[in-house]
Structure formats: C-alpha cells, structure tokens
Amino acid sequence: MTGGVGPQLPASSLRKMLLPLALAQFICSFAGSNMNVMINDISHDLHTDVQGVQVCITLFLLVMAALMIPCGKLTDRLGRKRCFTIGLIIYGIGAVLSAVSPGLGVLILGNSIFEGVGTALLIPPVYILTTMMFGDIKSRARAFGVISGMGGIGAAAGPLIGGAITTAISWRAAFVFQALMIVVIVVLSRNVVDPVPADPSRPFDTVGAVLSAVGLVVLVGGIMAADQNLVLMAVLLVAGALILAGFFAWIRRREHEGKEALLSTGLFRNRTSNLALVTQNVQWAVLLGTSFVVSAYLQVVRKYDAIQTGVIFTAATVGILLSSLAAGPLARKFQQRTLILAGFVVTIVGIIVLLALVKGHPGAWYFAPGLFLIGTGVGVMLTPSVNVVQSAFPENLQGEISGLSRSISNLGSSVGTAIAGTILVAGLADPKRSYGIAMIVLAFIGLIGLGATVLLPAAEAAPGPGVPATAAEHTPD
C-alpha cells in the first residue's frame, strides 16, 4: 500500500493533527464513566433511582455501539473530517441539553441519544485518520498509544473529575465542562486534514445499518431486563441474536449480488483480528463494569459523596496513565500479544485483590491497590489490541474495521455496565453480596479475554482470506 499522508507531513504537523483526535477520545470515554459518581445527586435532583441512572449510562454506551458500524461506513461517503466535525457538534448539543435537563427523559435525550450519536460519528474518524497519517507500525503504535491512553484516562478519570465538579458546583456543571471541551476540540481540529477525498457516490447499506443497530439494542436490552422479568430477558436475547443472524445473512447476500454491504464478510476471516476484537470487547466491559459497580457501592451502601467516590478512583487513573505513558517503550520491547496477555493477568489479579481487601477491611483506601492493578492492566493492553485490529487491514477497509472495532469496544462497555449493574441493582437488599457477585462475574469475563489472547499467534499473522497481503505489512495506502 502506498501514498499515506504520514510520510508526507512533518512530525510537528502530525502532532497538531493528533491532539484533537486524542482529546475527542478522552471526552467520549469521560462521558461513559463520569456519571457513575453522580448517582445520588442525579437521583435526588431528577426524582429517579439507581436503576434510572444505570439505564441512562447504558443507553449512552449502547447507542454508540449500535451506530458505530454505520457511522464508520459513512466516513467514506461524507469524508472523515466532516463526520468528525458533525459528530462534535451533535455531541455538544447533547451536553448542553443534559446540563439543563429538568427530568430523566431529557437527560436520556441529551446524554444517551445526542451524545451517543455524536460519539458514534466522531470516533471512527479518529482511528481511520490515525491509521492513514502514521505509515509505519512503530509510529502508529505510538499514536494509538496516545489515543487509547487518553481514552483509558478519560474512562478512569471520569469519576474523579466528575466527582470534583459535582461536589464543587453541580452535576450539571460536568456537562458544561464537556460542552466547553467540545468547543476546544472544534478549534484545534482545524489542523486536521482528510487524506482521502470523500466519495458521495459510494452506496450505503441502509437495511444492514438498521438490522445491526436494532439487533445490538435488543440484545443488550435483554441483559438489562434480567432483574425484572426472566421471560422478557430470554425473548429479547433470542430476538437480538436472530436479528443479528439476519444481518449477517443480509450482508452475505449483498456481497454475492456484487453490491456493497455495510460490512465486508472478509473482516471476519482474519483470525488474528477476530481474537483481538474479543480482547477489546472484554477490556472495556471490565473497566466500565468495575467503574459502575464500585461507584454505586460506594455511594449507595457507604454513602460517599461524588468527590469521595472520585478520589478513590484516582488509583485506577494513575495505573492507566503510567501504563499508557509506557506504551511506546513497551511496544518496542515486547510483542503485542505478550502485552495483551500481561494486561489481562494484571487486571484479573486486580479484581481478586479488590475483592479480598474490601471484604476484610471497611476503610476506603483498601479499594486503591485493586483499582490500581485494574487500571494498569487495562492500560497495558488497550494500545496493542487496537493496533492489532487496525493494522490488519488495508486503507480501503479502514472505515469498516474502525466502525466494527469501536462498536465492539463500546458494546463491551454497555454489556459490562448492563451485566454488573443489573446484578448490583437486583441485589440491593443484600448489597455486599451483590457487589461481590458482580465483581466475580467481571473477573470471569476477564478470563474470556485472557483465553482469546492465548489463542492469538505469537508473531504477526498473515491476512485471512479476502484480505490483501499488504494488510499484514501494516503500511497504509
């Protein structure tokens, strides 16, 4: 593959273009976790409960997951820079709506819908543009290290920053902070250049987009219904699986007819990429699931306020920050599979430490060692997982794989929050027991990611059927 913009631009220009992309990932990840420390404040102000806030958080993550694939595909038709800008504007509108919301319904509209749609539009361009701008595996690994690190820091620091703002001013001010950050990113993004012109004539698979989005929403809806009606849960899970099966049948049919589908089935023939996608899904499920469970436990059971809860999460933030800063040197010394493997081991050990220390000691700081290990483990593996997936495909598939990759990651976030939150909410009558069960379930999910990592080839694999050989060389067009 030849002609990427990375080699044609000086390092200073690339850094200016990378900054707004990294900040965009930061604020979207921040939005996924900062509400965790506002549970009591929002519940009191908007006359709702823990479950109402959980629904709002999960829907935000789910809207992102459901629309990430279609929006990734739209980047080819509308242009990566244009999708990025439109997404920022929609997100900003959602933040303002959330800040002035008089009830849970408007908060869901602003935070879950508008911010979710905006994020789905702006995140795929972040990864597509980065892949195109940085032409070799090492520079791309460093760039993804910055972006993934900012995403991890945003998710881990969300409770701290959100808690500080909520305690000092109001939970509404946290959404004002998001809106102001969007303004800054819009200004900085003037330096971003789209390396490939948009192609308005490129067809868009509307039916495929609807099937994939509805299937994911129904599937996660089934998980969230577990604490209310087991029959409804089963119906929704089966319906979601059938709709997604119909989606795959639809895209296969379009490909056989020679038409462009929402996703190329060739994306699923690369074994290395498939396994790395599983690791991405699990990483975010564990990180966001842990964030919600621990935050809810601290506020509902121990009656901590927003800033106290946020401060406790500083340990996870420090862990992600340190491991993200080390992403570049680690990538030069170790294979990506080794880093992902080590990350899962450290994360699972962190969950075990968290359970062991908190059970035997009532003090708040006994949360710190476990959270630090979880943050460190997730930070170590975020970058290599993303790089394995993005670098496995050529430039003409970057829109599709970026959308799929981000959808899988955000699906992990929504599933982790839905599963752990449902267990916690259903067991509030015995909160200590439900907290332990939720964390054990998250540890089990982590073991699934560890198993997928063990199956990853020790060295870079050749591309799967239907993927050009140059995709294994990790050089963009």
Q: How far apart are the C-alpha atoms of 389 and 410, rounded to whole Å?
A: 15
Which is more confident, 388 or 177? 177
Q: How far apart are the C-alpha atoms of 97 and 117, rounded to whole Å?
A: 14
Of 186, 228, 189, 199, nearest to 89 (Cα)? 186
Q: Can you give the pLDDT at residue 1?
A: 33
106: pLDDT strictly greater than 90: yes
Q: Can you give the pLDDT at residue 399?
A: 63
Q: Once rounded to an integer, what is the mean pLDDT over residues 81-100?
A: 95
Q: Can you give the pLDDT at residue 472?
A: 31
Amino acid at 200: P
Q: Can you give the pLDDT at residue 470?
A: 30
DSSP state, 470?
Answer: G
Scan for tokens 């406790």, then name that residue. 312
Scan for tokens 């900062």, then name that residue. 34
Amino acid at 321: L
**Which of the residue ranges 129-138, 302-311, 396-405 has the most confident prediction, judged by mean pLDDT?**
302-311
Q: Can you give the pLDDT at residue 374?
A: 93
Chain segment 220-270, per-residue pLDDT in tens: 888 777 666 778 888 999 999 999 999 999 999 998 988 888 888 888 888
| Average pLDDT for the chain | 82
Which range is least confidently modeled, 274-278, 291-295, 322-326? 322-326
Give SS3 for 29: helix
Q: Extract the runs of DSSP E, i.e. beta strands, from 393-451.
A: none
Q: Can you give the pLDDT at residue 35?
A: 84
Q: Once rounded to an integer, what is the mean pLDDT over residues 138-160?
A: 78
Q: How far apart are the C-alpha atoms of 303 and 175, rounded to whole Å?
A: 23
Residue 339: CA count within 13 A, CB half-sphere: 29
Percent over 90 (pLDDT), the chain: 30
Q: Once rounded to an integer, what is the mean pLDDT over residues 4-23?
A: 72
Within 10 angstroms of residue 48's Cβ, the number of other Cβ atoms is: 18
Instruction: Place 172 in a pLDDT band, splitting at 50, 70 and 90.
Output: very high
Distances (CA, A) of 343 to 68, 92, 228, 346: 26, 34, 35, 5
Q: Once rounded to an integer, what is the mean pLDDT over residues 286-310?
A: 84
Chain segment 368-417, per-residue pLDDT in tens: 899 999 999 998 888 888 888 877 777 667 667 777 887 788 788 878 88
468: pLDDT strictly greater than 60: no
Locate all alpha helices (DSSP H) within 34-136, ordered by sequence. Answer: 39-45, 50-78, 80-99, 104-107, 115-133
Chain segment 436-466, per-residue pLDDT in tens: 888 899 999 999 999 999 998 875 443 333 3
Q: How far apart are the C-alpha atoms of 128 and 142, rounded to whole Å?
A: 15
- 10 Å CB burial of residue 176 (0-12, 13-18, 19+) is middle
178: pLDDT strictly greater than 90: yes
Q: Can you give the pLDDT at residue 444?
A: 94
219: pLDDT strictly greater than 90: no
23: pLDDT strictly greater than 80: yes
How much is the pTM?
0.76
**Alpha carbon 310 to chain centroid, angstroms:** 20
Q: Can you give the pLDDT at residue 420?
A: 81
Q: Taking a C-beta distance cutoff of 8 angstroms, is the pair 299, 37 a contact?
A: yes
Instruction: Place 315 in a pLDDT band, splitting at 50, 70 and 90.
Output: confident
Of 288, 319, 222, 283, nearest to 448 (Cα)? 283
